[in-house]
Amino acid sequence: MSALQRKAGALHLEGVALEDVARRFGTPCYVYSRSMVEAAFREFDEGLAGVDHLVCYAVKANSNLAILDVLRRMGAGFDIVSGGELARVLAAGADAGRVLFSGVGKSEAEIRTALAARIHCFNVESEPELERLDALAGALGVKAPISLRVNPDVDAKTHPYISTGLAGNKFGIPYGSALEVYRRAAKLRNLEVHGIDCHIGSQILEAAPLEEAVDRVLALADAVQAAGIRLKHVDFGGGFGIRYRDEATIDVAAYTRTLAARMQGRGLKVLLEPGRYIVGNAGVLLTRVEYLKVDKAKRFAVVDASMSELIRPMLYDAWHEIVPVTQSARGEALAYDIVGPICESTDVLGTGRSLAIAGGDLLAILSAGAYAMAMASNYNTRPRPAEVLVDGDKAYEIRSRERVESLFADERTLDAAMKP
Ligand code: LLP
């Protein structure tokens, strides 16, 4: 159930009025619901209860320390893709032994740090990466736990920009050569083969492609084990889609229960890497209307949020619902393009939205918990917004609004740069 509800016309997240959050912390501002994050995590964790498992939250979706902390307390593991994300999860108190390291471009420094931290597993994406890992583990005198990310060549039927499991994609090791690469990996002295991994894309709305990937990964697991290479786990990735508008989504509780039943008796631990599903619907972006600008051809609501806070609409043509925080009986609804202050025509958060609004009104952009703040930039020297976590009737600031001076604190004028 959504914790986002109207009470006497005023939009609340859990027990907190969003108008109060905006007054206290300013706008634009991201607000997240702790209970919604926990409920979404539980769907995976409880669904897999019948089998040995670890749900590794994909940190890239929303990497705020408080969000990581909420999930850590629930027993989550973490899927990271950079040394920066490793530093974050450790700063949030996570056990390195529950961390997976994914990504196609792990640097030597990142690998060394992750080896020294003794992470759970490296999801290796290429043969050169295997060699680099073997050499670095050897130099440190440790064994690197590895899993190969295979590309199962399954069409996730999602936006091409976020589809990752098709042949010809930069991700993973081609399915057809995976067995051979496993044989090689098993011979490298400083590696220890632990598992198989795949991830076919994001915002997936149908269970069929995910199930097809499971079939292919399990067939490969059988072949690898038949070749005498023992596996400890299989990682089926993330990708579970959420409702932004009116999409029918995968029933995660049912899906994971079926998966657990299927994995029963195989002696393989099940890993998942969901990101968006855990945090996506748990967050909103609050923004105030600066001006209503009426043109012959169009009506614009110019708001104080922009593509620098939320790039998804411009980058993927993504649709985020936009609603007034306080429902006033004022006037009839008119169609507005909701645009930000950035000097780009693509700085649009929503088009043709029917709203009864006036200058100064507060709007909430929904389903903004995933790939939102995490992808925010400082374009136009805009400080990134504050983030707030709501827990019952309390609201906690979990990140302060950036200060303008900190945006150029690492820069120098020419005079300063030329000083010896
Ligand atoms: N594991 C790996 C290896 C991934 O690359 C990703 C996401 C995930 C797990 C988590 O996927 P999720 O459960 O969140 O779908 N910025 C885009 C989404 C990019 C997803 C990248 N990889 C967006 O805003 O839609």
Ligand 1 center to 326 CA (angstroms): 33
Catalytic positions are: 343
Nearest CA to ligand 1 atom 5: 199
Domains recognised in the chain with CATH numbers: 4-31+280-407 (2.40.37.10), 103-272 (3.20.20.10)
Strands 283-294 and 29-33: antiparallel
The number of beta carbons lying within 10 Å of the beta carbon of residue 29 is 26
Ligand 1 center to 352 CA (angstroms): 28
Residue to mutate (ligand 1; options 41, 60, 314; most atoms within 8 A of CB): 60
Instruction: Tell which atom from ligand 1 comes closest to the C-alpha of 370.
Output: 24
Question: In the prediction, which pLDDT does 190 show?
Answer: 98
Does 353 contact ligand 1 (Cβ within 6 A)? no
The number of beta carbons lying within 10 Å of the beta carbon of residue 276 is 25
DSSP letters of 134-150? HHHHHHHT--EEEEEEE
Question: In the prediction, which pLDDT does 167 show?
Answer: 66
Does 237 contact ligand 1 (Cβ within 6 A)? yes
Alpha-carbon distance of 366 to 363, in angstroms, equals: 9
- State which residues of the chain have pLDDT below 50: none
Whether residue 371 contacts residue 316, with contact meaning beta carbons closer than 8 Å, is answered with: no
80-93 pLDDT, tens digit each: 999 999 999 999 99
Does 199 contact ligand 1 (Cβ within 6 A)? yes
Question: In the prediction, which pLDDT does 166 show?
Answer: 65
Question: In the prediction, which pLDDT does 160 show?
Answer: 67
Strands 233-235 and 269-272: parallel
Nearest CA to ligand 1 atom 19: 162
Instruction: Tell which atom from ligand 1 comes closest to the C-alpha of 123.
Output: 3
Does 58 contact ligand 1 (Cβ within 6 A)? yes
Alpha-carbon distance of 382 to 142, in angstroms, equals: 44
Q: Which two tokens stand for residue 389?
A: 């976590």
Q: Which of 420, 63, 52 is nearest to 268 (CA)?
A: 52
